[in-house]
Amino acid sequence: MGLPTISLVVMTLILDIETAITMIVIPSFVTNLWQALTGKHLRDLIREFWFFLILSGLSVYIGTTLFFNMSNKLSTLLLALIIIFYSIIVLSGKKISFLNRNLFINKSVIFSSNGILAGLTGTLIVPGVFYFQSLNFKKEKLLQALGIHFSVLSLFLGFSKISHKTIFDFEILFLSLASCVSAFIGMFVGRVILKSINERMFRKIFLFSLLIIGILILFKAYIN
Q: What would the pLDDT profile of 4-47 be if each residue is shown by its tens digit?
A: 788 888 889 888 898 889 888 888 898 899 889 988 999 999 99
Cis peptide before 27 (omega within 30 of 0): no
Q: Given a cut of 90, is residue 2 above it in pLDDT?
A: no
If you ran DSSP here, which 8-state letter would residue 108 be given?
H
Q: What is the pLDDT of residue 4?
A: 75
Q: pLDDT tens digits, residue range 169-195?
A: 666 666 666 666 666 666 666 666 656
Higher pLDDT, 116 or 205: 116
Q: What is the mean pLDDT of the chain?
A: 86
Burial of residue 148 (CB within 10 Å: 0-12, 13-18, 19+) is buried
The pTM score is 0.88
Separation between Cα atoms, residue 14 and residue 17, nearest integer Å: 9
Query: What is the C-alpha R_g of the chain?
Result: 17
Q: What is the pLDDT of residue 106?
A: 92
